[in-house]
Amino acid sequence: MTGLFREECISKTGKGFVYCADELFIRADSEAPGKEYYDDFPQIENGVGMLRDFLDNTSNIEDRLDDSCVRHGKYVLVTGISMSDYIADFARRLSSTGNIEARAVAVSNGFYGDSVTVSGLLTGGDIINALDGTAG
């Protein structure tokens, strides 16, 4: 998805240098590239590669959970709109363990507007409004 410039960077430096934002893959309904695409994840703080990192770190979570690593109980996983399908799937998988009841709450960004869909730009007010009345 990044074209000729990226290929030229790889041939000259061994690194991609240009990485498409996760949101591009999500909006295009395209699978996130493998971790090799992101080199050493130099843009992870900017959200580039977080989707791949999340998918890799949560794969087979059901097999890796035991009593020593998580408390039994109810959990609410708050997320922005763009990751909501992934977080909802993760919540379902957590709940399938029988020890945890997890659910995802997708929060619209009322502060910056609906076009801003990433979790990192949600405000406390938007989160409180989304959770208001959802206790339990």
Which tokens belong to 130?
Answer: 């989304």
Summarised one tens digit per residue, pLDDT across range 112-133 is 999 999 999 999 999 999 998 6
The terminus-to-terminus CA distance of the chain in angstroms comes to 42
Mean pLDDT, the chain, rounded, equals 89
pTM for the full predicted model: 0.84
Summarised one tens digit per residue, pLDDT across range 80-112 is 999 999 999 999 999 988 888 999 999 999 999
Nearest alpha carbon to residue 82 among 9, 2, 21, 5: 21
| Phi–psi pair at 120, nearest 5 degrees | -65, -15
Task: State the Cα–Cα distance between residues 18 and 44, nearest whole angstrom.
Answer: 13
Domain spans in the chain, listed from the N-terminal domain onward: 3-56, 68-131
What count of Cα atoms within 13 Å lies in the side-chain half-sphere of residue 100?
22
